[in-house]
Amino acid sequence: MSNNRQNATDDQLDGVAGYMQQAKQQALKNVEQVAEGVAADTLSEGKLFEIATSIGDKRLEELTVEDTTCGYCAVGCRFDLYSDGEEILAARPTAEEDAPVNGISTCVKGKFGYNFVNSDDRLTSPLVRDENGEFREATWDEAYSRVVEGFDRIRDDHGAESLSLIASSKATNEENYLMGKFARQVLGTNSVDNCNRLCHSSTVAGLAQSYGYGAASVSTEDLEIADCILLTGSNTTEAHPVLATRIKQNVRDGADLLVFDPREVQIAEYATQYSRIKPGYDAVWINGLIRHIINNDLYDKEFVENRVTGYEPEEAPDHEAADDREERVDKRETGFEAVKESVQEFTPEVVEEVTGVPHEEVVSAAETIAAADACVFGWTLGLTEHSHGTENVLAMANLAAITGNLGKPGAGVSPFRGQNNVQGGGGDMGPLPDNFPGYQDIADDELRAKFEDAWDCEISPEYGYYTTQMFLAADRGDIRGMYIIGENAALSEPGVNHAEQVLSDLDFLVVQDLFVNETAQYADVVLPACSFVEKTGTFTNTDRTVQMVKQVMEPKGDSRPDWEILQDLANRMGREWDYESSAEIMEEVNSVTPIYGGMTHERIEAEGGLQWPCWDEDHPGTKRLYEEQFNTDNGKANLQAVGYSEPAETPDSEYPLSLTTGRVLYQYHTGTMTHRSDGMMQYTPSDFVEVHPETAGEFDIESGEMVTIESRRGEIVVPAQVTDRVGPDTVFVPIHFAESAVNRLTDEEHLDPAAATPEYKVSAVRISPADGTAEPIEAADIEAAGDD
């Protein structure tokens, strides 16, 4: 087996300079096609926005230019996109006042990641199976008929609850609102969920329990004015490059940065303190910090006295899944005294032995946080993707509350959300088995009655299945049909050997996507959707800012925006939907979703974004949550005692290493968008495994050599990158390539009891040399490509 990692020719520059050079040539080519008199020599390396500036005025008039919001990650960068109607030619900064998060910054993906839109294998017409079981192109009419037939058959034979829908956090708020409505009103099932389940649902569950809202309390500007930032489980420079820039700037200006991560990721280079932790034991070191702070009287007594209380869990609705989820919560002691008592077991010895963090590092981090006037607690998947992710988040919420770091400038909790629209489309819009839009509980009789009335349908009070549970329920025959919109479950679910089996055994599967992705290969019908550059609507970013997304190009081929497809299907299934635009859908959202009450397209456009809650048309939106009170019954933060927890599967003699998984800068998830860009592929053409030099020695592995990685569930082969970025007990593999799908190794069964998040961040594995070698893998130059 060979690897073509370094396939750049000799005369090309290495690293990011080479990437920029290539991108510049590509952009120049575009510009030459549309503009006369391009002043190539005005272009400086790494300043490709200037290319767009150099498009001649005359030709400029012939181009479409729209200010829009990035469709990759949840930072929510805004920029102008230029199109000649056929393809995206350039991205350049929009007016700074219209780009509250990024100003003039963007990362490589927002700047250059558009080749996928026009790629030859974009889906341009619906596909159905022919008599031999092969895909053939079909008219929309035929495809819709097949979909209706398929869903009807399952409903008639097995009941509507055996249908489920996976909604797409790539799509707009308006589309996700309709996905939730479609599941409940048209299909008649509460089993509707999305990628938040695989990602930050433990953040949402934990923060909702502790403070009332499952979202960041801060605005992005708080990252720039905090005195101290604690970051954990976040590879910020690669996954949220523009936020990393904000943080680095603040650190240069004197803020403290504390990084806790099993990998010495690039942001750690800027840290006042980097502590290497063993994956899977976050509540332990966080409780160690809390213990030091409380026992040494360093906590914020006034805040604790006035703004903190215990937590009284509500009775769980009567549903198998819900019972299981609530069980652990029921047992939890609540209030400051309970937390104080519960952290006593996390002595310096315990913390060091379990997590590997020496006592001096616990002390210095605790004292830095306690001494800061304002501290932001930032985290991402390293904290959440565990079988006890919600407990990790509760522990972090306790830490922020006892140090009084909420509801004031430069302070608060900042989970960096993932997909471009997972905060809005994946949460706020309620394509969820337990919530209507705006986190309104479906088990609440009054709220359910409101939606039954608004949507003219009956809705069961029983929670549906979470995404991860849908796949387990399918094994039992409880789910028989799925409608998967913009989600590549065949690669992104945990334990994909199992997921593949489920997808192939389903009675009926509809996939709605831009491509025949790995999931679509199991579909009965594939419906071609449009990407964010081909439609209008809104996305909600990581700091609750709702921003406009605008159509820059016509839909490719016969593809249609998701909301139009849903409307067509709803009408064929006996409903009368007549939305003429996404603005009209937003009006309906406004009327049923209190936190979005005043968010019309008109205002979002005029005000350059609005942060929720925004209760009515006169409300200015909310920059920072919890300034006066928490969103709980008594207005106080609910502290909850969090005890010892560990990963569901720990290393042993057979599988001696902890595997953790994640992302790289140049790739995005399952690659449907980034694999179609030559530039991105040149820099990360395959997955790889990071192995510590000592471990490499022990298992006889050299950099560039192919390595077999095995878990109890499967095996993959990837080239090795020998590096001390990881510790000796840990190996890291990215998630971006089907041929080395790391989710063959992960476990689909052990889910977080409150949030049903899988444990992507810890699996027990063993490694051994495989046949073949690859070029040694250089770490990408993240610094320069992350943001400029």
Ligand X SMILES: Nc1nc2c(c(=O)[nH]1)N[C@H]1C(S)=C(S)[C@@H](COP(=O)(O)OP(=O)(O)OC[C@H]3O[C@@H](n4cnc5c(=O)[nH]c(N)nc54)[C@H](O)[C@@H]3O)O[C@H]1N2
Identify residues 517-546 at the interface with ligand X (CB under 6 A): 517, 529, 531-532
CB of 419 to ligand SF4, least distance (A): 10
Q: Pattern of binders to ligand SF4 over 72-91, x per CB under 6 A?
A: xx-xxx--------------
Q: Does residue 540 bind ligand SF4 (CB under 6 A)? A: no
Q: Out of 30, 106, 219, 660, name the contact with ligand SF4 by CB under 6 A.
A: 106
Give me the phi and psi of 107, to 5 degrees please.
-105, 180
Does 242 participate in binding ligand SF4 (rule CB under 6 A)?
yes
Q: Which residue is nearest to ligand SF4 (CB)?
A: 110
Q: Distance between CA atoms of 318 and 333, rounded to whole angstroms?
A: 23
- Exposed e or buried b per residue across 695-714, where buried means at least 16 C-beta atoms within 10 angstroms of its C-beta: bbeebebebbbbbbbbbebb
Contacts of 94 (CB under 8 A, 6+ apart): 67, 78, 79, 80
Dihedral angle at the C-alpha atoms of 258, 264, 267, 270, nearest 10 degrees? 60
Query: Binding to ligand X by residue 187, rule CB under 6 A?
Result: no
Decide if 427 contacts 155 (C-beta within 8 A).
no
Q: Are 13 and 37 in contact (CB under 8 A)?
A: no
Site string for ligand X, 479-498 (x = CB under 6 A): ------xxxxx--x------
What is the full DSSP assignment across 187-236?
Answer: I--S-EE-GGGGTTHHHHHHHHHHTS-SS-SS-HHHHHH-SEEEEES--H
Region from 77-85, 150-158, 304-312, 418-426 binding Mo ion, contact rule CB under 5 A: 418-426
* Contacting ligand X within 122-181 (CB under 6 A): 168, 170-171
Regarding 110 and contact with ligand SF4 (CB under 6 A), the answer is: yes
Q: How far is CA 753 from CA 110, 215, 474, in A?
A: 36, 20, 19
Q: Of residues 20, 99, 199, 339, which one binds ligand X by CB under 6 A? A: 199
Q: Which of Mo ion, ligand SF4, ligand X, none sits in contact with 265, Cβ below 5 to 8 A by type? A: ligand X
Judged by CB under 6 A, the chain residues 392 through 451 that form the site for ligand X are: 418-419
Residues 6+ apart with CB under 8 A from 776: 703, 704, 721
CB nearer to Mo ion: pick between 172 and 721: 172
Alpha-carbon torsion angle 385, 389, 392, 393, nearest 10: 90
Q: Which span sits near ligand SF4 by CB under 6 A: 106-114, 182-190, 273-281, 766-774?
A: 106-114
- Binding residues for ligand SF4, rule CB under 6 A, total 13
Q: Give residues 16-75 in contact with ligand X (rule: CB under 6 A).
A: 73
CA dist., res. 289 & res. 359, Å (int): 10
C-alpha–C-alpha distance, residues 686 and 16, integer Å: 17
CA distances from 546 to 48, 115, 501, 539, 575 (A): 28, 26, 38, 6, 29
418 binds Mo ion (CB under 5 A): yes
Is the CB of 130 or the CB of 778 nearer to ligand X? 778
Q: Cβ distance 762 to 656 under 8 Å?
A: no
Total residues at the site for Mo ion (CB under 5 A)?
2
User: Which 8-state DSSP code applies to residue 424?
Assistant: I
Tokens standing for residue 516:
């025949």
- Shortest reach from residue 511's CB to Mo ion, in Å: 19
217 binds, among ligand X, Mo ion, ligand SF4, none (CB under 5 to 8 A by kind): none
H or E, element range at 284: helix 282-295
Q: Which stretch binds ligand X (CB under 6 A): 4-12, 31-39, 378-386, 605-613?
A: 378-386
Q: How many CB atoms lie within 10 A of CB 386?
A: 33
Q: How far is the CB of 543 from ligand X (least distance, A)?
A: 15
Residues that bind ligand SF4 (CB under 6 A): 70, 72-73, 75-77, 102, 106-107, 109-110, 241-242
In the complex, the residues that contact ligand X under the rule CB under 6 A are: 73, 168, 170-171, 195, 198-199, 232-235, 238-240, 260-263, 265, 277, 279-280, 282, 380-383, 385, 418-419, 485-489, 492, 512-515, 517, 529, 531-532, 562, 660-663, 665, 667-670, 672, 735, 742-743, 746, 760-761
**What is the binding site for Mo ion (CB under 5 A)?**
199, 418
